[in-house]
Amino acid sequence: MLIDILKGWTATSLAYFIGVSTTGGPHSNLISYQLALGIAAVMGHLFPIFAGFRGGKGIATLCGMVLAVNLDAALFCVSVFIVVLLITRYVSLSSITAGFAYLVGVTFFFNKYTSNLVVIFGMLICLLILVTHQKNIERLLKGKESRVNLFKKKTAV
């Protein structure tokens, strides 16, 4: 998971080198580069060439990307993830909720330096999460999604 987070953060952070070397211009260009490079990392995670284009759900890579784009919003999302996980013990529901919390965060709470492009990206994150978690959502609605055991010791057999 940490490697996936680092992958998203690194790809997104490369925008500082590209943005400075090609434009040296305004913050909006930097955001554009960050989003383009981060989205490339997420798409590479979702559809890896060497695994037959079948990858993961991309949540950890998205987390790394969001950490690089807006640290405050990322910490808000992580907090939402943890609270929902502690209450429900569903990792999938926690991921879905945290993804939607990003859109709420950049739209209403952390919008001081947020461009419209970041809000549009937040909407795309919500759509992506709904698509990648479709089976999880179905299992949640049917009550068949598995829960994680938090803070419980396993008994020896």
DSSP string, 16-81: HHHHHHHT---HHHHHHHHHHHHHHHHHHHHS-GGGTT-----HHHHHHHHHHH-HHHHHHHHHHH
Amino acid at 45: H
Q: pLDDT at position 129, please? A: 92
Q: pLDDT at position 98, please? A: 95
pLDDT per residue over 54-112, tens digit each?
A: 777 889 999 999 999 889 999 999 999 999 999 999 999 999 999 999 999 998 888 76
Q: pLDDT at position 19, please? A: 59
> What are the residue ranges spanned by the domains of the chain?
1-60, 70-149
Q: Which residues contact 154 (CB under 8 A, 6 or more apart)?
A: none
Q: Which residues contact 119 (CB under 8 A, 6 or more apart)?
A: 103, 106, 107, 111
Taking residues 144-148, report their average pLDDT. Answer: 91
CA 84 – CA 70 distance, rounded (Å): 21
Q: pLDDT at position 6, please? A: 92
**Token reading at 45:** 């995670």
Q: pLDDT at position 24, please? A: 54
Helix 2-13 / helix 15-22 crossing angle, nearest 10 deg? 0
Average pLDDT, the chain: 86
Q: Residue 105 gets which letter from DSSP? A: I
